[in-house]
Amino acid sequence: MTERYTLPLALIQLEVPPPQVVAKIGEQPAWFIDALQLQADDYIIVRPHRGDALPGWQEISGAILSGSWAMVTDHAGWSERTAAWIRGAIEAQLPLLGVCYGHQLMAYALGGEVGDNPRGWERGLQTVTRTASDAWLNGLPAHFSAWLSHRQSVLAPPPQATVLARSALDACQVLRYSPQAFSVQFHPEFSREIMTACTPADVQPDSAVMGDTDWARTLLQRFWQQVRPRDQEASQR
């Protein structure tokens, strides 16, 4: 009889936050673990910037690529290695979710253009507007709030990508690349505490209030539900 067990979700951490941020709220994987209430056997953490090998397609159920204080346009070795892995993951039809830096890295890896946002630094609680219909967005309002903090953006999406949402300062807030791979510029894993900790000391913290439903967090949870059922037996069929 074939043994069945759930494959872990890979939390791919892309660089380390500044020390003052780590001291307050830890590093990026902890934010996703808390947001999704993951258990220890639900995930693995992969740190390419430390030299970690990126996982094989049959070893994981999917992957979340985190935000970062780095810039995609710096073309760091660990970032380029992760970009190559993304291309292979797309070909292998692995479920992927890129967040902020991960969003930009996915777009860059697949042929899009990433650079400094000509409209400036987008940060705080901002309004995201849906621009296309998509099953992943079903039930979401036409406009919803999300936490943002980024200086670079996807300036031109990859040819095969569909833009699903935008904001006042960024035309590519949500991208879908395939039936199981998409990315978001905003931070669905953020809470106000995380946003405040990530805000520089010389910048006034955002005082806007999230509505009754955190729709950005809902999208993160939907991705987890899509990934969670995939098991070892199913992946070998």
**Which tokens go with 223?**
């991705």
Tokens of 224: 């987890």
Give the DSSP per-residue string, the chain: -----BPPEEEE--S---HHHHHHH--HHHHHHHHHT--GGGEEEE-GGGTPPPPPGGG-SEEEE---SS-GGG--HHHHHHHHHHHHHHHTT--EEEETHHHHHHHHHTT-EEEE-TT--EEEEEEEEE-S--GGGTT--SEEEEEEEESEEEEE--TT-EEEEEESS-S-SEEEEETTEEEESS-TT--HHHHHHHS-TTSPPP-----SS-HHHHHHHHHHHHHTT-BHHHHT-
For residue 136, what are its two tokens? Answer: 């992943």
Name the residues annotated as catalytic: 100, 187, 189
- Pick the closest to residue 187 from 109, 62, 61, 101 (CA basis): 101
The widest CA-to-CA distance across the chain, in whole angstroms, is: 61
**Length of the chain in residues, anyone?**
237
What's the token pair of residue 36?
A: 């999704």
